[in-house]
Chain A
């Protein structure tokens, strides 16, 4: 079946550091890929998505590129801020949108220190 694997956390960085959170997936066909963010006490929010190979999703300085050859969708940000501290989830779906059922990774806790 479909599965998503994220790098283990927690991840602790200093402000303005470069961030990479690795995500790889296993799925047949051409899934759509997502990154969600969960701030403390809040629900999951869609951060970015990509629906086909080589697509790059981007939002709020975060980027991820759909790499079919390596089945990866790594999340990157060039300069993190304290406000980026949250849990990040990688996910996939067979549909083109998050309106279909999602398969999630384990989540990665990010803490950014001033």
Chain B
């Protein structure tokens, strides 16, 4: 149990286009999802925290108009990178916190998405 699926695992897009990344909790409901970003040889940095049915909370320095986060249901959150540029190329990973049950205090990670903007 407690599986998080992220899709796609890899994507290549052209500069100026938008890319949507999905994060799904497959066998549990998630009230909170976190989006992280990792540059090569660097740590995972939290971008934003999303709660189902409300606006995401972005970390300082993260452009909310560029990285659109939608958490419309208890099993799905999406991150859309709008007007992508090469500097947006990175590894994006989500995690979801279980809403209830014995695992309700832990968060589980998706497998990540490697975005390359050309």
Contacts and interface: CB of A to CB of B under 8 A. Distances in A.
Interface of A: 4, 36, 41-46, 89, 96-99, 101-107
A41 B111 contact: yes
B54 interface: no
A98 B106 contact: yes
Across the A-B interface, the 8 shortest Cβ-Cβ residue pairs: A97-B105, A43-B109, A44-B109, A99-B97, A43-B111, A104-B44, A104-B43, A106-B43
A103 B49 CA distance: 13
Contacts of B110: 43
Contacts of B106: 46, 97-99
A43 B110 CA distance: 5
B107 interface: yes
Interface residues of B, number: 27
Contacts of A89: 43-44
A106 B105 contact: no
Interface in B1-37: 4, 6, 9, 32, 34, 36
Nearest to B4: A43
B117 interface: no
Contacts of A43: 4, 6, 93, 108-112
A10 to B, nearest CB: 10
Contacts of B98: 99
9 contacts: A36-B109, A97-B105, A97-B107, A98-B105, A99-B98, A99-B106, A102-B95, A106-B41, A106-B42
